[in-house]
Amino acid sequence: MGKRIIPRRRGRGHRYKAPDNRFKGEARHPRSKSSNGKVVELMHDPGRTAPIAKVEDQDGTYTMIAHDGMHLGQEVSTGHGADIDTGNTAYLGSIPEGTKIYNVEMKPGDGGKLARAAGEAATVISHGKLTIVRLPSKAQKTLDNMCRATVGSVAGSGRGEKPIAKAGKNFHRTRSRPKIWPKVRGVAMNAVDHPHGSGRKQTVGVQSTVSRNAPPGRKVGNIAAKRTGGKR
């Protein structure tokens, strides 16, 4: 069968992991049920797309993902008594419908898992026994009312507008995250390395659409695609 292709090798070794030393902090909700703090520092985090903020409260300091418009000295609150203002963290059951939120917990107390990238925000859709949230991908997720989220949207929304300009920047950008760069095309490889490899021309040479039941060494390209090409 030859060598395993990258999607099947992924997960083993340091090549597919982000280095821990590049993260400035956990950037999660505080573990205490309620707190009132003040932003004392805004930091660039090389391991994230968004900046993070250091907050000082009665229990010490913690880091959170900065929202759009956050500034030094801003007061932020967490818990049942928190107002529904930008930067405050509240329970989903108490956040009004239509409110933009980010760093949403999937399970109560996990610190926040959803809508954490720069410029992203989720939206509260409806309440009931559970709360329905629309994610940045437009998918809707049903979550516990006791899950916490921060009101607002993540800072750094314009990061995609600045051109990378040179390969060195892209190298450092991907090195801090579990991404492989540069990516070698399958048609540029040898036959032993990829199903699209070998041949005198760099063409796939076989159908790019494969069955869902294809063997692992052949399952590359458009897997179980209903149709390919543009609509006529």
Query: Considering the domain boundaries, does residue 26 fall inside one?
Result: no
**Model-wide pTM > 0.85:** no
SS3 102: strand
For residue 119, give the CATH number of its domain: 2.30.30.30
In a domain, 106, yes or no: yes
**Structural domain contains residue 213:** no
User: Whole domain around residue 127: which residue ranges?
Assistant: 83-157
Domain membership flag for residue 94:
yes
From residue 130, give the alpha-carbon distance in Å to each of 45, 98, 107, 133, 136. 34, 16, 12, 10, 19
Q: Is residue 101 part of a domain?
A: yes
Q: What is the per-residue pLDDT across 116-163, written as a single tens digit (0 to 9) for each?
A: 999 999 999 999 999 999 999 999 999 999 999 999 999 999 888 989
216 inside domain: no
> Number of structural domains, the chain?
1
pLDDT digits (tens, 9 = 90+) for 66-125: 999 999 999 999 988 889 999 999 999 999 999 999 999 999 999 999 999 999 999 999
pLDDT for 1? 53
Q: Is residue 130 part of a domain?
A: yes
152 in a structural domain: yes
Q: 6 or 165, which is more confident?
A: 165
Nearest to 146 by CA among 64, 91, 201: 91
What is the model's pLDDT at position 76?
A: 95
